[in-house]
Amino acid sequence: MSCRLTALAVDALDPAREAAFWAGLLDREAVGDSVPGSATQLGLRFVASPVPKAGPNWMHLHLTSTSLEDQQRTVDTALRLGAHHIDVGQRPEEGHVVLADPEGNELCVIEPGNGFLAGCGYLGELTCVGDREVGLFWAEALGWPLVWDRDGQTAVQSPAGGTKVSWDGPPLPTKVGRNRLRYDVVTDGSLSDEVARLVALGAARLGDAEDGAVQLADPGGNEFRLALTPA
């Protein structure tokens, strides 16, 4: 038994605006406050929250490029839709471009020729704060192979390919409050059985949501939502 990662849930002051931005940037159709993904590309779900972003997110997205011209087109599109350039300490010789969406959520447009993201598709990676234990937990939880395991850094990817999920490894910042970006996962089987399996793997149960979903945290304290697959 395993669960499936279907979307990244993102707290937003204006979920409709965020969904419109990301739908435009990813060339997808927004459905309400969500930007659905596919079997190999991660979806996004924007959750209304009155709390503005404060400090760097523990997760951010990497978009891929096929050429320098393609990279610049993506940057130009993002800026036209409401993004802006930010400095997170990137060096001048690094080829990726760091931006923030209209609510300040970080994203990177990766330069062409990046071998790690080859074949991952346009939304190539969700990169996260976390140690090796977190990466190993999600490999087992999702049933995804570990495609990178070096110097405390890990990454997993669906057997079908597509968006990778990676963890940067130490040193780790101190977690304060709930993550603004969180995993949405679903299961086709018994919700209680899947909760028990994930807890046995190292998750902590945090409580129940009003819609019947269960809130949990992985071994790094990162919150995630587990629900039954929609009928």
Check residue 70 and give its pLDDT: 98
Edge-to-edge strand ranges of the sheet holding 181-187: 34-35, 43-48, 4-12, 181-187, 223-228, 214-217, 204-208
Report the mean per-residue pLDDT for the chain: 95
pLDDT digits (tens, 9 = 90+) for 19-60: 999 999 999 999 999 999 999 999 999 999 999 999 999 999
pLDDT digits (tens, 9 = 90+) for 158-217: 999 999 999 999 999 999 899 999 999 999 989 999 999 999 999 999 999 878 899 999
Distance CA 108, CA 103 (A): 15
Check residue 94 and give its pLDDT: 75
Ranges 1-10, 115-124, 144-153, 154-163: which has the least confidence: 1-10
Distance CA 170, CA 63 (A): 24
- 3-state SS record for 133-144: HHHHHHHHHHCC
Our CA angle for 43, 49, 55, nearest 5°, is 85
174, burial (CB in 10 Å: exposed 0-12, middle 13-18, buried 19+) = exposed
- Domains along the chain with CATH numbers: 4-228 (3.10.180.10)
Check residue 145 and give its pLDDT: 96
According to DSSP H, which parts of the chain are helical?
Answer: 15-26, 68-81, 132-142, 191-201
Which residues are 165's β-sheet partners? 126, 156
